[in-house]
Structure 1
């Protein structure tokens, strides 16, 4: 999956650019929210509305 728009990550100085590849996707107990990893940020929680299938 890839990101749809640029996202600022709380707690870090990183910004996920549009098109960043997201791997190791895990579902959470909440609807519309996933846990995932990117190349630079591990243990990231994202809303599914900011992702699209690559």
Structure 2
């Protein structure tokens, strides 16, 4: 079961907000706190989700940096 930083259960297609600024490895992109990410996909690892964000496709984020929108 995949949960966000507040303990809310995440499901495929949910929208989430970043709780802190994140540097995307391998790119010059910085995702700012408060960035809305739509249509997430749950992975086999309950601590990670897949998504698309500002100019970055196939991004994997840790759920501890997310809050369900």
Normalised TM-score (structure 2): 0.72
**CA-to-partner distance for each residue in 1:10-54, whole Å, 9 max, x for gaps?**
010000000111122111111211001113211100010100012
Q: Unpaired runs of 5+ in structure 2? A: 1-15
> How many residue pairs were aligned?
54
Q: Kindly name which structure, 1 or 2, has the bigger radius of gyration based on alpha carbons.
A: 2
Indicate the SS of the match to 2:49: strand
Structure ranking higher on relative contact order (CA contacts 8 Å, 6+ apart)? 2
Separation of aligned partners in 2, 1:33 and 1:2? 14
Which structure 1 segments of 5+ residues have no match? none
Structure 1 stretches (4+) deviating beyond 3 angstroms?
A: none
- Alignment RMSD (CA, Å): 0.9
